[in-house]
Structure 1
Amino acid sequence: MAEISAALVRELREKSGAGMMDCKKALTETNGNVEEAIDWLRKKGLAAAAKKAGRVAAEGLVGVATNGTKGAIVEINAETDFVARNEQFQAMVRNITEIALKGTDSVDALKTAQYDNANTVEGEITRLIATIGENMNLRRTQSLSVSQGVISSYIHNATAPGLGKIGVLVALESAAPADKLNELGKKIAMHIAAANPLALTVEEVDPTALERERTVLIEQARATGRPEEIIQKMVEGRVRKFYEEVVLLEQTFVLDGQSRVSDVVDQASKELGSPIKLAGYVKYTLGEGIEKEESDFAAEVAAQASGTR
């Protein structure tokens, strides 16, 4: 059986919101698997429903750039938030995002793209590492495009124009005026930043995630002691509720708190006199899914002090 360390219990507690003893029991029951332990807690009604995105554990910047029917988003990490406020670093992230906008839709392709007359993108990152003295990493990039319409963007709590910790791109296909589409696209991008959808449509929901959710819901429903046919109806109702929580087009639009996102798009189509299709989106949250080594600052200071005696 895996050793259940205090750090593992703390991680589960932070992700689930459950009590310490419940977390320890859940980890014991699941042999130290945190994700299975979250499901175990949920089945017992001890944890909040919802998968939480990975904690932001890396610094740097997310950059977005758009040009009419094209858009690109890039994440470049650094060791400290101090670097994210450095004008040289900001300029580099902005420039690399503009390079990505030209059509380099993979990290490898972007790294080998020409940055300036002297360096490739990878070479420029290496140069700045030497200049600033912190490790940096081009972590990911993605682009969106439409044949007709716009790619809109939004940066939440922008550090500088087009740069911040949360970036969103939204693709709208339509013959409607670009300025009106951009207004709609920015609102939807703001919604995405707040609501964190997992898929654009019901059909695009990850089957593994859906099956995992259904398993938890069945266990919760059976705990009520009701007949099997009632349980099935309860589960189907809760699955529909799950879709409303995680599917972009099914979510309640955060800007009015009433309409579904799909209804907002339909209403805009009527007002602008042209069909509008929400064709895609991308959301990057800085550092999501990266584990950051925790340090005990007081212990470090004490160790350094003892070493100087």
Structure 2
Amino acid sequence: MANFNIADLKALREQLGTGMSDTKNALVEAEGDVEKATEILRLKGAKGNAKRADRSTSEGLVATLQSDAGVTIIELACETDFVAKNDKFIALSEKVVAAVSAAGASTLEEALAAPVDGTTVAQAIDDQAATIGEKVELRRVALVTGDQFAVYLHRTSKDLPPQIGVVVAYTGSDAETARGVAQHIAMFAPQYLTRDDVPTDAVDKERDIVTEISRGEGKPEAALPKIVEGRLTAFFKQVALLEQDYARDNKQQVGRILEAAGLTVTDFVRFKVGA
């Protein structure tokens, strides 16, 4: 009979974030020796990392950290919400965002190569994945630079860490309005700052689509240019921040709100876990 009790099982599982069955089996194999059981779980997890490579990671969190260089934002993904809210996973995200920020990394490749605790971010994530028993990956990284910053982290569920993160770089002094715009971005997910930022090929594709739709509806050929431009305006309101109706006052566009507040948005990034 293995020398451990339910309290040992629970404590080890919470410490490592491992599954009930795996944790129990490790304790049995280690004859109740918690340190040995931890080693067994880590070795088993390391062997399982390759097998988990093709699994999907639709859960996780978004984390940010501001430094002299700007604001670093990351998306750290995992397989289940159980792991996403685990203290070990959250601690890993804090370690990763700190390392990425310290390295000034602005790409995923740079972030994974960033040093942390005598190894790299990539290896630290692999080590934690081996312990947790789930696929864990750093999916996205961005470094937002600018004068001032508004950061908004949104929890889609009260028992989970933030799963939507927004960083807005701006000039001006109205921090309250800047935060309101960050919240707007979290809700309405614009892809570009202005309509001029939308790639030409995307605009051309949309123009072709709405032209065909309009023709299919039997609109007069002579009226098509005006109808198409109207529908393109609606498209820009979907994808360009300054064109969108403001979440807190849908009678005004975000661009007008910013102008009235004396603010200029110079950049923004929005991450949503799994999106």
With structure 1 as the length reference, what TM-score do the two structures score?
0.66
Q: Which residue of 2 aligns with 1:249?
A: 242
Which has a greater percent of strand? 2
Q: Which residue of 1 aligns with 2:131?
A: 131
Secondary structure of 1:259's counterpart equals strand
Map Cα deviations across residues 261-291 of structure 1 (whole Å, 9 max, x no partner).
111111111xxxxxx3100111111112xxx
- Measured after TM superposition, the shift of residue 213 of structure 1 is 1.6
- Measured after TM superposition, the shift of residue 206 of structure 1 is 2.4
Moved over 4 A (4+): none
* 1:86-101 to 2 correspondences below 5 Å: 86-101=86-101
Judging changes above 3 Å, is the alpha-carbon distance between structure 1 residues 239 and 101 closer, same or farther for their aligned structure 2 residues?
same
1:63 aligns with 2:63: yes
Q: Which residue of 2 aligns with 1:240?
A: 233
Could you tell me which runs of 5 or more consecutive residues in structure 2 were left unpaired when the two chains were aligned: 1-55
Secondary structure of 1:105's counterpart equals coil
Percent identical residues: 32
Map Cα deviations across residues 278-306 of structure 1 (whole Å, 9 max, x no partner).
00111111112xxxxxxxxxxxxxxxxxx
Q: Which residue of 2 aligns with 1:151?
A: 149
1:105 aligns with 2:102: no
1:284 aligns with 2:274: no
Map Cα deviations across residues 6-35 of structure 1 (whole Å, 9 max, x no partner).
xxxxxxxxxxxxxxxxxxxxxxxxxxxxxx
Map Cα deviations across residues 138-180 of structure 1 (whole Å, 9 max, x no partner).
111001111xx312211111779x9521111101023x3xxx4
Q: Which residue of 1 aligns with 2:115?
A: 114
* Alpha carbons 2:57, 2:78 under 8 Å: kept: no
- Measured after TM superposition, the shift of residue 208 of structure 1 is 2.6
Letter in 2 for 1:66: Q
- Measured after TM superposition, the shift of residue 68 of structure 1 is 6.8
- Measured after TM superposition, the shift of residue 187 of structure 1 is 1.0
Letter in 2 for 1:169: V
Judging changes above 3 Å, is the alpha-carbon distance between structure 1 residues 159 and 127 closer, same or farther for their aligned structure 2 residues?
farther
* Alpha carbons 1:94, 1:163 under 8 Å: kept: no
Secondary structure of 2:100's counterpart equals helix
Secondary structure of 2:119's counterpart equals coil
Q: In 1, distance between residues paired with 2:79 and 2:217?
A: 49
Could you tell me which runs of 5 or more consecutive residues in structure 1 were left unpaired when the two chains were aligned: 1-55, 270-275, 289-309
Q: In 2, distance between residues paired with 1:139 and 1:88?
A: 18
* Alpha carbons 1:64, 1:163 under 8 Å: kept: no
